[in-house]
Amino acid sequence: MILTGCVNVNGEQAVEEATPKAIPPISISRGINLGNWLEAPEPGDWGVMIEPRHFSAIREAGFDSVRIPVRFSAHASAHPPYTLDPIFMDIVDEAIQQGLQNGLYVILDFHHYEEIMQAPQEQAERFLAIWRQLAERYHEADDNLYFELLNEPHGRMDDGCWNDLLAKAIGEIRVSNPERWIIVGGVDFNHIDALDEIVLLEDERIIATFHFYEPFKFSHQGASWVENAAQWSGVQWTGSEEEKQAIETVLDEATQWSRLHGMPWLMGEFGVIAKADETSRQRWSAFMADQARQRGIAWIYWDICGEFQVMDCGTGKWDQSLLGALMGGR
């Protein structure tokens, strides 16, 4: 384990244990990310506005959960006590309520905290203060509200920093929410391999998450936020044995990890940009959802109406073929 500047309090606990453990069951099985909405700098900046009608459509389509990415860092003061903006928080309250009222599990995800990726130690106090406020605000909310600590740690947020910070954040949350499910992923943008470096805590209500976009040149072809992605236009996913095997191997590893540690796990993001050819996109999505289902991995598709969209949020129309591909096993 490489440490660059952050204290790793419990590093030695990361050593693997040998005996498989019972995995506590979780109720989430298939969901959708409400991406590009509350994690844009301001809601609406990235062209997505989610309304009550979308929540009922999500439920009717057969999803059981929504992940709501929120850029809390853009709505909290820069100085202690780092107060969250009450007007913005009304929008978050309403989003959570809409999800819960529609019978959906709701994952509240702290997304796009770019400053902490560059300066983990300087931002740690602010991160913890924001979680303290969120935990207090929602401590009486339905159990079907789950918290996700931080989307895709990367940059200077290495294993050492992250293990230190996640333990402290969970400590803050547990003061007011002793039983709530908390979702935690590894560094390197929630890469599956980074799960091995997470220091496991004595806490029965933690779910491990990973994100999966492989082959990346296929899923992210033409993505404006990824360097050189314009050159990948036209990359297909044909569903050859080799392509399938590459995915199955990784998912098998995830399954092993979960069994070894007795921790439920979740594929919190996966998807293909809408610029990819339709057939490849459906084929990959159907295969992924099916492979996850076979291994009992809960999944959350990225995303509803953003660049990986499965719905046109304006008209409320689903891409029925892609939806069908995801829901194949229903």
Residues in touch with ligand BGC (CB under 6 A): 111-112, 151-152, 269, 302
We find the least distance from the C-beta atom of residue 260 to ligand BGC, in angstroms, to be 26
Q: E strands within 190-324?
A: 206-212, 265-270, 298-301, 311-312, 317-318
294: tokens are 């076979």
Minimum CB separation from ligand BGC for residue 290, in Å? 21
**Which residue's Cβ lies closest to ligand BGC?**
152
User: Residue 63 and residue 283: Cα distance in Å, rounded?
Assistant: 19
- Could you tell me if 307 and 254 are in contact, meaning their C-beta atoms sit under 8 angstroms apart? no
Angle between helix 159-176 and helix 120-137 axes, rounded to 10 deg? 20
In this complex, which beta carbon is closest to ligand BGC, that of residue 112 or of residue 281? 112
CB-wise, 102 or 265, nearer to ligand BGC?
265
CB of 302 to ligand BGC, least distance (A): 6
Closest to ligand BGC by CB, 151 or 258: 151
Query: CA-CA distance, 106 to 212, in Å (whole number)?
Result: 20
**Closer to ligand BGC at the Cβ: 112 or 180?**
112
To ligand BGC, the closest distance from the beta carbon of 304 in angstroms equals 12
Segments of 145-285 assigned E as strands = 145-148, 182-185, 206-212, 265-270
Minimum distance, C-beta of residue 176 to ligand BGC, in the bound complex (Å): 27
C-beta of 48 vs 96, nearer to ligand BGC = 48
- E strand or H helix that includes residue 30: strand 30-33
CB atoms within 10 A of CB 109: 28
